[in-house]
Amino acid sequence: MEVLRAAAAVLRKDLRGELRTRYALSSILLFALASVALVSFTLKGEALTPRQHAALVWVVVFFAAATGLTRGFVQEADAGTELLLRQAASPEAVWLGKLLFNLALLAAVEAVIFPVYCGLMYATVEQPALMAAVAALGAVAISGCTTILGAMVARARSRSSVFALTALPILLPALLLLVQASAPAFGAGGTEAGGREAALAVVSYTGILMVLSWLLFPAVWEE
């Protein structure tokens, strides 16, 4: 219970800071919307296959997340509040609070990106419930990975570049599975069983990422 209370305090602090500046939310949304608009104007209404839609939307989500999900730890490094946070909360509480912040931020961004993508790219979601479930799984997987990587790259000069280079190899299996699981939602015929298997594989892979992040974070945070 003490860890949960401390994590809630970390989450409230980050949410208040984000509501004041809107730095992370603005940067993620700007990148995502600009990317979707650019692709839409380039294709000029050309029809894409369901699998291509699934791949493109997750590429946009991943690289948009790379522009802003490190903010939770970057602002601690820039403001010099890391030492105070270490003294105020345990590493487990910091990890959980930052994870929930990243998850809330990415969920809000996905709630905007997916409808905008479907509108600009003329993509039809034939199974909204499946799409929502896969989007939630993707948000959890990306947030679980970015939480510990954000702590690792917070002091780097080119944080976004370093983050993208380190996160892509780790998240590539999950992204491939998310594409496979999303294709039936966009209307890919004959792939429902494969989509369910891919979704279950995403759950398993996300669980592994969460456990490893939980176990390794104290060592990373206390260095």
pLDDT in tens, 169-181: 888 888 898 998 8
- The secondary structure of residue 187, as a DSSP letter, is T
Q: Which tens digits make up the pLDDT trace of 74-132?
A: 676 666 677 777 787 788 888 888 889 889 888 888 898 899 988 888 888 888 888 89
**Taking every pair of C-alpha atoms in the chain, what is the biggest distance, in angstroms?**
55
Question: Residue 58 — pLDDT band, cuts 50, 70, 90?
Answer: very high
Residue 187 CA to residue 184 CA, distance in Å, equals 5
Between the CA of residue 161 and those of 73, 154, 156, 171, 199, what are the distances in Å? 15, 12, 10, 15, 29
Residue 170 CA to residue 168 CA, distance in Å, equals 5
Q: Which amino acid is at 179?
A: V
Residue 78: strand, helix, or coil? helix
> Which of these, 200, 32, 26, 44, lies nearest to 122 by C-alpha position?
44
User: Is there a contact between 92 and 100 (Cβ–Cβ < 8 Å)?
Assistant: no
